[in-house]
Amino acid sequence: MVIDSTHSSRFINAEVSSDWQVYQGSPAEHFAIAKANGYDFYITTDHSQEAAFRPTGAENASWNKVKKEAYDATDSEFIALTGYEHSENDGPGARGHINVINTADYINALDPNIDLPTLYNWIKEVQANGEGPVVATFNHPRPGQYDNFAHRDSAVTDIITMLEVINSNKNVYFNGFVEALDKGWKVSPVAGNDNHNLSGITTHTSRTFVLASDKTKESLLEAMKNRRTYASLEQNIECIYFVNDRIMGSTLPEDDTFNFNIKIKDPDTDNPLDKITKIEILKDGGQVVKTYEPEPSFSIEWSPTIQDSEASFFFIRVWNKGGGDHEDVAPKEAVAWLAPVWINNDD
């Protein structure tokens, strides 16, 4: 099942304001609007340094209210998820923002002695908030952030499994994505609203797509943990691929022959701008290794074989004629970024 939506990072600005909910609305309001607008799931991740989340801790009333509102908003057709945004842009190393999703507790990135290694150790141990695993995503990452994507080990690599390639509808962080992959992080692309209020839910058209087995909280989070995601400037493009019979997001046994089976489809057959025009396969360093430019069509299948004994990962990006659904389109740029596959990189 392809489930599409986005996470919401709901904050006013870098300064904490005691009346933040007046401007950005409660999680319940976000969930209700998302549900009314056809989202399959929606995640709220407020900055943990917001005034309402002080004092910090699992017993904080506002934190527990957020979790209850998510629980109440979830039904068979819509999954509401919560977490927090671990946010520290200004300190040494330009640490950046990270969404930590489905935790029972939270910590404040601005508290004394809270650095990235502390966060990474904490998320290895924190209890999940009910069903499903804890997962995390690098947000709007630029090269050099997160202490140059340092402090990685195998345990935290299996928790920070996503990276925000698209932020606020059209901002693309391709270079940060490639740098994270080159540093050994096994992250798949997602898109984020980065709402500062309620308007992005209805006006932003970029989406995170998740290849989940069914529409439940547990299945959704397991798919995120297993990196079965893609991000697109199109609201309903359908993408999937396999390499050597392993689905996107997988780690492959060591090999030098890679047989791809790629399927891209857009159901809006009444809109010629949604026709698929190009598919690229890329590897380490963002190097393009193979390109396919078929006769533009709403449904494309491509099954190339790549011989490569040096690549540690491959990923795919897709173009269409129109450049996406947002108002400031750029047809010369890619419209979707698909989860990588990795080669014998289990650390």
Task: Note whether 112 and 178 are same-domain residues.
Answer: yes
In order of 129, 160, 228, 269, 289, the CA distances from 224 in angstroms are 15, 10, 6, 29, 27
Per-residue pLDDT of the chain (347 residues; tens, 9 = 90+): 444 454 443 332 333 445 555 667 889 999 999 999 999 999 999 888 888 888 999 999 999 999 999 999 999 999 999 999 998 755 554 578 999 999 999 999 888 888 899 999 999 999 999 999 999 999 999 898 999 999 999 999 999 999 999 998 889 999 999 999 999 999 999 999 887 778 889 989 999 999 999 999 999 999 999 999 999 999 999 999 999 999 999 999 999 999 999 999 999 999 999 999 999 999 999 999 999 999 999 999 999 999 999 999 999 999 999 988 877 777 889 999 999 999 985 55
Alpha-carbon distance 178 to 184, whole Å? 10
Task: Note whether 101 and 152 are same-domain residues.
Answer: yes
In order of 4, 84, 144, 249, 263, the CA distances from 287 in angstroms are 28, 34, 19, 19, 21
Provide the domain count of the chain. Answer: 2
For residue 23, the model assigns a pLDDT of 67
Task: Note whether 221 and 245 are same-domain residues.
Answer: no
Q: What is the pLDDT of residues 278-299, one digit of tens each?
A: 999 999 999 999 999 999 999 9
Residue 263: which CATH number? 2.60.40.1930
Per DSSP bridges, beta strands 336-343 and 313-320 are: antiparallel
Instruction: Tell me if residue 198 falls in helix, strand or coil.
Output: coil
Task: Note whether 52 and 180 are same-domain residues.
Answer: yes
CB atoms under 10 Å from CB of 150, counted, come to: 11
Q: What's the token pair of residue 34?
A: 């998302």
Task: Note whether 107 and 84 are same-domain residues.
Answer: yes
Task: Note whether 286 and 189 are same-domain residues.
Answer: no
For residue 101, the model assigns a pLDDT of 97
Q: What is the pLDDT of residues 169-214, one digit of tens each?
A: 889 999 999 999 999 999 999 999 887 778 889 989 999 999 999 9
Which structural domain range is residue 322 located in?
238-343
CB atoms under 10 Å from CB of 53, counted, come to: 20
Task: Note whether 22 and 48 are same-domain residues.
Answer: yes
% of the chain surpassing 90 pLDDT: 74
Residue 139: which CATH number? 3.20.20.140
Alpha-carbon distance 230 to 270, whole Å? 24
Task: Note whether 283 and 183 are same-domain residues.
Answer: no
Task: Note whether 266 and 166 are same-domain residues.
Answer: no
For residue 90, the model assigns a pLDDT of 56
Q: How far is CA 182 from the centre of its chain?
A: 18
